[in-house]
Structure 1
Amino acid sequence: MRKALTAVVVLAAGGAASAFLVNRGDTSQATNQAAQALPVNTTKVTQQTLKDTETEDGQLGFGTTSSAVSRIAGTVTAVPDSGQELRRGNTVYSIDNKPTILLYGALPAYRKLSIGAEGNDVLQLEQNLKAMGYTGFTVDDEYTDATAEAVEEWQDDLGLDETGVVELGSVLFAPGHIRIDSVQGQEGTPLGPNQPVLSYTGTTRAVTVQLDAADQRLAVMGAAVTVALPDGKTVPGRIEKVSTVIIPAESPDKDPETKVEVIVAIANQKAVAAWSSAATDVTFTASERKNVLTVPVAALVALREGGFGVEVTDGTTSHYAPVKTGLFASGQVEVSGTGIKAGTTVGIPK
């Protein structure tokens, strides 16, 4: 007589699980019992693409906010309006009637630039001078006499003293066009060094999502997501930035929270042009398995000898077949095993 096969039938609902034993032997009595105990509820093994998705709250806006701080002490004499867009060569703000000019570049301004200076900030400056139409110098990382002459010409056009020197605080480097988010230093406000004047963003609309640290698996750079807009339409997006942020505690008896901030780029800007700010739903795909065999999770049984199985039936007999499980998603589970193919009928325990 062969060893009996014992299976524990796993029932899962709402995250809870329960189990009961099913014993099957090799005797005729066991066979008759098995025939009488054919599963009442059945389903078919299907072949499909299985996606592990999760939907999170998002905020449509203009992406990450940056702060512009005064590098010198003085009085704020000019600031833009919130929502105003600025381009290369525009004045961002003025302290003591000395303007801070927007230039493009990834490296922040951190020092005075004058003849003899070398570095990427010099290269950025010269690239901007050339883009604004100034000539007579070589675009490289060296601040030469020719660079100083171009700077003097630029200063003359701005109505400034022609020093040929770019003082710290006279330029603001940003990746591109900026949009003023809010203004902290109103006209007439005295400011000390390193005090915030205003905050700004890019001009391209994007969606910001703050994930719990436990959901960091969703934040994959370059991954495609789907954004549901307030009008019910959806638009594709792509993760362009992932960072960790600390959310301050709301009260002394609570701890700060660690969040994973995700910036989602929207290629179709026309689709989101109607909103400057809006709540959205963002659907992330953590993993995807194409053209795999699946059954409902409820069809799985836990085998006493280890692993999982399914109860395969042809309507008159049934047997437990071991399966290897893969991705679990949307109430389905990826399975594979001997004799398991699309269309196979399996039982779903009560």
Structure 2
Amino acid sequence: MARTAEHRLPARRRRRLTVALAVLLTAGTAGAGTVAWNARSGSHEAAPEQPVRVHTTKVARADLSTSRTLPGTLGYGLPHTLKGSGAGIVTRLPAPGATTVRGKPLYWVDDRPVPVLLGDTPFFRALDKPGLRGHDVTVLAGNLRALGYDTGNTGEPAAGRSSRHEAQGDEFTPALSDALRRWQRDTGQKATGTLTPGQAVVLPRPVRVNTVTAALGDPVAGELLTYTSTATSVSVTVDATDVGGVRTGQAVTVTLPDDRRIPATVTAVSRVVQGGSADEQQAQTGPATVAVTVTPLRPADVKALDSASVQVLFTSTERKGVLTVPVTALVALREGGYAVQRPGGALAAVETGMFSDGLVEISGPGVSEGMTVVTAS
């Protein structure tokens, strides 16, 4: 014997149908005892029966994605400490929020400017003798050239540099010494043509002064200030078990305190796991986490903010143009799996895919875009 549509419904759906029928029967019984008087004919008319309302929806194509929103802090990233070197007394210091410029002074020692140069090797020795070779010489020569000074040939041409030259660095030549002397004279330094530690500070890139920790009159050989990146970014803490879904270059959305949503991208995922050790777990300090840095695509979007609490939306999986219905349109079959129900009661078996925001991806030979199906609400 063929199974009726009602028998094929799950118990939950049958219960809903039974309740609806009970309401209908009750209404019908009340209707039989209730009459409407027709003044024109003087006869009695039975009130019409009200049909059971069925909620329906249509199968539609949509883009689905799995996402999560995590709290973040907008700022300039983690601060780094700058220590002075050499001898002397600090006589001038920058203001918090100031940004560094190549060749311009950052602070003053004994009333002499200490300019900023960019590079990856600090000045750790006196550059005062021709023939000295090293990466500190490379930093000096590269900065003077960037500032417009002719340094002559301080090493092999860039195109022909050997691995040996790369390991040894540039050479401190008389021409480089002359270029150094000209720069010193032009910037108010003592024009010696030599450079000793403490006469210039080397930073990896232009930076922003975060806090000033030294005071005027302090010895220069100590902590002077902290600095950060010049670009605002968002710091997000992600559980170590979930960080696998976060990658550098991933597009994210940041919601600002005024509810504006701005595009951003993941620019760094730390390789260091914080917390999660046995001692920390005993102290109940929380799970192991990883620091993630997110940078807005348009700096102008956050130009007016120095710091703020924000929300970051990470989208990890995306399905475009798939057939979807509300989750409430799914019918759980007694024999397993799911189906959708047509208004007439017929069921069409479906395969489910991604669930997102109350929708579910479906597929199957009996479903198509625009098809009307029954939903619970």
Residue number among 341, 350, 358 corresponding to 1:331 in the alignment: 358
TM-score after normalising by structure 2: 0.70
Letter in 1 for 2:253: T
Say if 1:311 and 1:319, in contact at 8 Å, map to a contact too. yes
Residue number among 142, 148, 161 corresponding to 2:177 in the alignment: 148
Aligned partner of 2:60 in structure 1 is: 46
Residue number among 353, 367, 370 corresponding to 1:340 in the alignment: 367
Aligned partner of 2:147 in structure 1 is: 132
Letter in 2 for 1:180: V
Aligned partner of 2:77 in structure 1 is: 63
Cα gap change, 1:139 to 1:52, in 2 (>3 Å): farther
Structure-1 separation of matches of 2:90 and 2:82:
13
Structure-2 separation of matches of 1:34 and 1:257:
47
Aligned partner of 2:25 in structure 1 is: none
Mapping 1:1-350, distance limit 5 Å: 27-28=1-2, 33-34=7-8, 37=14, 43-72=57-86, 75-94=89-108, 99-105=113-119, 107-109=120-122, 111-112=124-125, 114=127, 115-118=130-133, 121-138=136-153, 141-145=169-173, 146-157=175-186, 158-160=188-190, 162-167=192-197, 170-176=200-206, 178-190=207-219, 195-244=222-271, 253-255=283-285, 258-299=288-329, 309-319=337-347, 321-325=349-353, 327-346=354-373
Structure-1 separation of matches of 2:227 and 2:209:
4
If you compute each CA radius of gyration, which structure gives the higher value, 1 or 2?
A: 2
Say if 2:249 and 2:267, in contact at 8 Å, map to a contact too. yes
Q: What is the aligned length?
A: 317
Structure-1 separation of matches of 2:85 and 2:190:
18
- Does the residue aligned with 2:171 lie in a helix, a strand or coil? coil
1:159-198 C-alpha deviation (Å, 9 max, x unpaired): 236152353673222323x211011222233465xx5321
Q: Which moved more, 1:51-60 or 1:139-148?
A: 139-148
Say if 1:324 and 1:337, in contact at 8 Å, map to a contact too. no
Say if 1:59 and 1:279, in contact at 8 Å, map to a contact too. yes
Q: Which moved more, 1:220-229 or 1:205-214?
A: 205-214
1:89-125 C-alpha deviation (Å, 9 max, x unpaired): 12223456565421233x2426437344555554443
User: Following TM superposition, by how much is the alpha carbon of 1:251 offset from its aligned partner in structure 2, in angstroms?
Assistant: 12
- Does the residue aligned with 1:293 lie in a helix, a strand or coil? strand
1:68-107 C-alpha deviation (Å, 9 max, x unpaired): 12344664443211112221112223456565421233x2
Structure-1 separation of matches of 2:338 and 2:374:
7
Structure-1 separation of matches of 2:218 and 2:90:
5
TM-score after normalising by structure 1: 0.74
Say if 2:154 and 2:172, in contact at 8 Å, map to a contact too. no
Structure-2 separation of matches of 1:256 and 1:110:
43
Structure-2 separation of matches of 1:74 and 1:247:
39
Structure-2 separation of matches of 1:68 and 1:128:
20
Structure 2: 5+ residue stretches without partners: 18-53, 156-168
Aligned partner of 1:14 in structure 2 is: none
1:304-342 C-alpha deviation (Å, 9 max, x unpaired): 877xx32232233433625152x3322333333333332
User: Following TM superposition, by how much is the alpha carbon of 1:288 offset from its aligned partner in structure 2, in angstroms?
Assistant: 1.5
Say if 2:84 and 2:198, in contact at 8 Å, map to a contact too. no
Structure-2 separation of matches of 1:83 and 1:252:
40
Instruction: Identify the structure with the greater strand proportion.
Output: 1
User: Following TM superposition, by how much is the alpha carbon of 1:246 offset from its aligned partner in structure 2, in angstroms?
Assistant: 5.8
Say if 1:113 and 1:143, in contact at 8 Å, map to a contact too. no
Aligned partner of 1:22 in structure 2 is: none
Say if 1:79 and 1:187, in contact at 8 Å, map to a contact too. yes
Structure-2 separation of matches of 1:313 and 1:251:
50
- Percent identical among aligned pairs is 33
Aligned partner of 1:20 in structure 2 is: none
Cα gap change, 1:154 to 1:300, in 2 (>3 Å): same
Instruction: Identify the structure with the greater helix proportion.
Output: 2
- Does the residue aligned with 1:84 lie in a helix, a strand or coil? coil
Say if 1:57 and 1:280, in contact at 8 Å, map to a contact too. yes
Structure-2 separation of matches of 1:261 and 1:185:
29
1:211-257 C-alpha deviation (Å, 9 max, x unpaired): 22233145321122222222232222222222245667999934476
Say if 1:299 and 1:310, in contact at 8 Å, map to a contact too. no
- RMSD (Å), alpha carbons: 3.6
